[in-house]
Amino acid sequence: MEWVIVERELPQAANFDDIQALRARLRGCSDIHRVEHVRAYLSRDGRGLDCLFRAPDAESVRTANRNSDAPFSHVYSATIHGPEPDLVQPEAGELVLVTRSWEQPVAFDDVQAQEDAFAWCLQQHRVKFLRSYFAKDRKRMICLYEAPDAEAVRTANRTASLPFDDIQTVSVIRF
């Protein structure tokens, strides 16, 4: 089984009940394709939803979502870097999700070395790295941080010259 990420940009703001309804729509196809919904990260504005699945492969998750008319922008198999994937809401501060993409494949170690070189900046802004999900094609990544707010993470990433597509505060929805 692989870890699979689904990135969604929702047409309208969603809440916990909307996410549960989406999950219920996926349930039948998910069972057929052996897709297990592990958790979701819902942006504060309710428009961004990044989901973590366990499945045989990314195509199984993509098929289950298409057959259930569940919108998605990206689906990819990923490796997990960081603590156990049992994350709950942070003890202090906010949970902040950073989305990154590259046109050409990159090495995880190169991205990590760049972040490590600016560890002082993360510390200065009270930003704590929690975990990364790195696409197996090496072109996408989402990273989770604990921080006072999204702006602290944005400032630290800019200082470190780490590319990002989006940075947003999220809540964890566990299944």
The residue segments making up the domain with residue 25 are: 2-78
Last residue of a domain, one of 25, 51, 78: 78
Q: Give the three-class secondary structure for 155.
A: helix
Q: Give a yes or no: residue 175 inside a domain.
A: no
Tens-digit pLDDT profile for residues 25-42:
888 888 899 999 999 999
Residue 147 lies in a domain: yes
Residue 86 has pLDDT above 90, yes or no: no
C-alpha pair distances (Å), 36 with each of 71, 78, 141, 149 = 17, 15, 21, 31
pLDDT band at 20 (very low <50, low <70, confident <90, very high): confident
Q: Of the candidates 78, 112, 142, which is a domain's last residue?
A: 78
Q: Do residues 93 and 165 both lie within one domain?
A: yes
CATH of the domain at 74: 3.30.70.3090
Residue at which a domain ends, from 78, 94, 111:
78
CA-based nearest residue to 139, from 159, 163, 175: 163
Model pLDDT for residues 134-144, shown as the tens digit of each residue:
999 999 999 99
128 located within any domain: yes
pTM of the prediction?
0.89
Name the domain count of the chain: 2
